[in-house]
Amino acid sequence: MEKLTSLSDGARVGFFGLGLAVAFAAAFLLGSAFDPAETGAGGSHQEGGGHSAAHERSEETEMTAHREHQATETAPGGLAVATGGYALRVASTHLEPGEPGKLRFQIEGPDGEAVREFDRLHEREMHLIVVRRDGAHFQHLHPELDPGGTWTAALTLPAAGVYRAFADFAVDGDDQTLAADLFASGRFEAQPFPASAAVVETDGYELRLEGAPPLAGQPAELRFSVSRDGREVSDLQDYLGAKGHLVALREGDLAFLHVHPDAQEEPGVIPFTAHFPTPGRYRLYLQFQHDGEVRTAEYTLAVRR
């Protein structure tokens, strides 16, 4: 029987929720084994020890459950339409480019039925991210749930191409990010990721990304300072219960990293801790609210080995 050692746990680590990333980093730096029980990650079963035949069966059951639980928490999300017992079923995957349309979908649960009850996660029960496969045309939507378990979002795919729709939600305390492709037929002009730059401008705001260059597999501090007309913006408003919302997508497969901010310590600076699983380039979509409007700034970020 395969045994999960703390080493293989460590090797599997992709991305954690923020608190876990920090907790794990501490454990990792101290060289101690990662014990989910210590971090409140779920299972209280200590892995890696020997086990007797008498306990093998129950341990196996627990380990399987634990492994599945871990996989959903640590592997990058957004690569599968179905995983961890849940499936994303999209009713309408073809939309006319530039035409206002509707996206309807259900989350099918382990029992094969549409899930009707979701946890509230960052103030919403469902976060829907839509982005074209080349990283262009990012949208962050909050669909509405009907009593039968069908989610509906007004959606326009602005230009032709293949898009990725990420459904980010939690059920019974388990976070899931499932994703499906959407299609807008027509002549597709693919855009490369823009070159990496520390400063980007959006809607008259200047956003500067500070902090050391991130390394793969390690917690990375990302600090975005926001200014307008040369002056620091010190009155950022809350958006989804925080000063900012950050999605990172990996180049090549659009693996999805949902990163939430650290507590704001300086006005005008939005700090995050991200965990990039592998070296390469990522497209970052930072959302913040000011003067009553949500703005999105986009970065290309190179993550080194």
State the minimum distance, in angstroms, from the CB of residue 296 to Cu ion. Answer: 12
What Cα–Cα distance (Å) separates residue 109 from each residue in 79, 219, 270, 280? 18, 32, 36, 34
DSSP-derived letter for residue 218 is S
Contact indicator for 283, 239 with CB cutoff of 8 Å: no
If the CB atoms of residues 168 and 251 are measured against Cu ion, the closer one turns out to be: 168
Instruction: For residue 165, list its beta bridge partners.
Output: 130, 180
If the CB atoms of residues 63 and 107 are measured against Cu ion, the closer one turns out to be: 107
If the CB atoms of residues 127 and 250 are measured against Cu ion, the closer one turns out to be: 127
Residue in the structure block whose two tokens are 């073809």:
94
Tell me the Ramachandran region of residue 19: left when phi exceeds 0, alpha when psi lies from -120 to 50, beta otherwise: alpha
* 117 phi/psi in degrees, rounded to 5: -125, 125
Residue facing Cu ion at closest CB distance: 127
If the CB atoms of residues 36 and 78 are measured against Cu ion, the closer one turns out to be: 78
Taken as a whole, the chain contains a residue count of 305
Tell me the Ramachandran region of residue 173: left when phi exceeds 0, alpha when psi lies from -120 to 50, beta otherwise: left
Summarize as ranges the residues that interact with Cu ion (CB under 5 A): 127
Q: Which two tokens stand for residue 151?
A: 């989610």
State the minimum distance, in angstroms, from the CB of residue 127 to Cu ion. Answer: 3
State the minimum distance, in angstroms, from the CB of residue 43 to Cu ion. Answer: 28
Distance in angstroms (rounded) separating the CA atoms of residues 275 and 15: 5
State the minimum distance, in angstroms, from the CB of residue 78 to Cu ion. Answer: 14
How does strand 139-141 pair with strand 219-228? unpaired
Look at residue 230 and give its three-state secondary structure.
coil
* 290 phi/psi in degrees, rounded to 5: -150, 140
State the minimum distance, in angstroms, from the CB of residue 112 to Cu ion. Answer: 27
If the CB atoms of residues 23 and 286 are measured against Cu ion, the closer one turns out to be: 286
State the minimum distance, in angstroms, from the CB of residue 240 to Cu ion. Answer: 6
Q: Which of 281, 279, 275 is nearest to 262 (CA)?
A: 275
State the minimum distance, in angstroms, from the CB of residue 175 to Cu ion. Answer: 13
Contact indicator for 96, 184 with CB cutoff of 8 Å: yes
Residue 67: count other Cβ atoms within 10 Å of its Cβ.
17
If the CB atoms of residues 56 and 123 are measured against Cu ion, the closer one turns out to be: 123
Q: What count of Cα atoms within 13 Å lies in the side-chain half-sphere of residue 192?
A: 4
State the minimum distance, in angstroms, from the CB of residue 154 to Cu ion. Answer: 15
